[in-house]
């Protein structure tokens, strides 16, 4: 699955509206990803980061550095990592709450 397909699935089956900012504005850049996109959830002002890789091996070797950089900026939130084929999805939720509506939706759509 690539990012275009993932965003199509999110738009079709997800119940949370999102905005795709300029493709040049990536919060946590990856040099190894084939494509990357950050979307904005306007109701909650939260971000979901998508990274598409050529292979699962490259994804696995790159996700640690992305997560490490992201944790510095989102130190008060808990990371939610989802891997769907060669797609890495990163979302940060409130550290004090259980599973959020967004987290449940992402898992339902992308974890099989």
Cβ neighbours for 48, distance < 8 A, ≥ 6 positions apart: 18, 38, 39, 41, 89, 90, 91, 102, 106
Q: Token pair of 75, please?
A: 């130190």
Give the residue from 58, 64, 65 showing the smallest Cα distance to 87: 58
Q: How far is CA 19 from CA 31, 78, 84, 98, in A?
A: 24, 22, 21, 25
Q: What domains, with CATH codes, occur in the chain?
A: 3-110 (3.30.200)
Q: Report whether pLDDT(57) > 90.
A: yes
Q: Token pair of 85, please?
A: 């084929």
Q: Report whether pLDDT(23) > 60.
A: no
> What is the per-residue pLDDT across 61-104, written as a single tens digit (0 to 9) for each?
999 999 998 888 888 888 999 999 999 999 998 877 788 888 99
Q: What are the φ and ψ backbone dihedral angles of 33, each rounded to 5 degrees?
A: -70, 140
Q: How high does pLDDT run on average in the chain?
A: 88
């Amino acid at each position: 699955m690539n990012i275009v397909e993932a965003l199509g699935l999110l738009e079709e089956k997800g119940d949370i509206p999102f905005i795709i900012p300029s493709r040049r504005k990536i919060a946590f850049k990856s040099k190894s990803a084939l494509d990357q996109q950050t979307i904005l959830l306007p109701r909650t002002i939260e971000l979901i980061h998508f990274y598409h890789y050529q292979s699962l091996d490259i994804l696995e070797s790159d996700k640690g550095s992305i997560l490490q950089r992201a944790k510095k900026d989102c130190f008060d939130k808990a990371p939610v990592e989802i891997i769907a084929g060669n797609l890495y999805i990163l979302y940060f939720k409130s550290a004090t709450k259980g599973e959020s509506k967004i987290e449940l939706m992402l898992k339902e759509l992308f974890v099989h």
